[in-house]
Amino acid sequence: MLQGAVKLFTVRGIEIRADYSWFIVLALVTWSFAAQANPAEFQAPAAIYILLGFTTSVVLFLSVLLHELAHSFVAMSHGIRVPRITLFIFGAAAQIETEPKKAPDEFLMALAGPAASVGLAAVYGALWLLFRGDLIETGGIPPLASFFRWLAYINLFLALFNLLPGFPLDGGRVFRSIVWGITKNVGKATRIAAAVGRGVAVCFIFLGIWMVFRGALFNGIWIAFIGWFLMQAATSSSRQQVLKDLLAGHTAGEVMWRDCPFIDARTTVSELVYNQIMRTGRRCFPVTADGNVSGIVTIHNIKALDQAQWPNTAVAAIMTPAQTLKTVAPETPLTRVMEMVGADGVNQVPVVKEGKFIGMVTREAIMDFLRAKTELGLPPSPQPAAAP
Ligand SMILES: [Zn+2]
């Protein structure tokens, strides 16, 4: 989903970008205002319809962005990193790096977005009343009044829709944080919230089908589609929780590969490929210079280099330098490592103890560990699961 996006601007260190699908939606929303909604409400030259239609869709997406920024700012105030927000076909999504640590944090984070939308709806609503003027005299709704009324409606809709109690929507997160606060068990709370989310999704699907049979074809299909979307989201979040439960209580030191072959910084890429990778099947190598680990080189780095350059390029030139690597300690919880490995483009994390490289946790190492654990039918966790 992150390919095919352009960077727009940055707010407090958060990169705001737009997926290509968003430009199509921007055009469609502009068109539906310029060609349908606006002409139905007031008389004006075509250029005004188009200009106002475009302005409405831009301000609309800024409102959606403010909703996401509200979530993000609260997350950041609790020490959670938010590297970017992406605008796409359904609106916007903030990439919030880790889950909140405490139930009250999640409650505030989840509520911030809908609160921002309600606030915006109130401001636009007030402006609508201000510009409404005398409806009888103009024979219609003045353009500015129409503009603010739409923005007020849509922001209110956005707040209400997101407050539906279907996890992982905002409302579902608020619900989960309350269950989490009561039960003190985030895993249980997630499963309950996901189950409620599936219930809400099923209601939407049946409501949609019922509407189709009653003749409301377009709205019925749309409601059923939202239901299907909620169902997918609830299912994937309960699957993620199962994964977290399996990882809970385990550490990086348990699953790390210990036999990573060290290679000298002067080794050429050809030598690495033919003498190491093709013979041992290993995919990542710590690079040493004067006895110290100066970085790691992986298949990923090698793929980025043109094959013709392999014989005359030293691994030092293509490695990921140690300073830019995120490392973990052997006692770092696996749930935390999994979050790091999941983040953009990171496939492995070096394990460092007292400044010394001792191993590597890779995506495959975690998957092998999970496979062994489920095949042997080992209990979910050897010790009571800590809240992630
Ligand atoms: Zn939200």
Which residues surround the ion ligand 1 when the cut-off is CB under 5 Å?
113, 162, 170
> How much is the mean pLDDT over the chain?
84
Q: Is 284 exposed, middle or buried (0-12, 13-18, 19+ CB in 10 A)?
A: buried
Q: Give 239's pLDDT tier (boundaries 50, 70, 90).
A: confident
Per-residue confidence (pLDDT) for residue 134, from 0 to 100: 58
Q: Give 138's pLDDT tier (boundaries 50, 70, 90).
A: low
Threshold 0.75, pTM exceeds: no
The pLDDT tens digits for 3-14 are 577 888 899 989
The pLDDT tens digits for 162-197 are 898 888 789 999 999 999 999 998 888 888 998 998
The pLDDT tens digits for 194-211 are 899 899 999 999 999 999
Higher pLDDT, 142 or 15: 15
Peptide bond preceding 168 in cis form (omega within 30 of 0): yes
Distance 3 CA to ligand 1 centre (A): 23
Distance 368 CA to ligand 1 centre (A): 35
Q: Give 152's pLDDT tier (boundaries 50, 70, 90).
A: very high
Distance 71 CA to ligand 1 centre (A): 7
Higher pLDDT, 96 or 278: 278
Distance 162 CA to ligand 1 centre (A): 6
Distance 173 CA to ligand 1 centre (A): 10
Residue percentage of the chain with pLDDT more than 70: 93
Per-residue confidence (pLDDT) for residue 257, from 0 to 100: 83
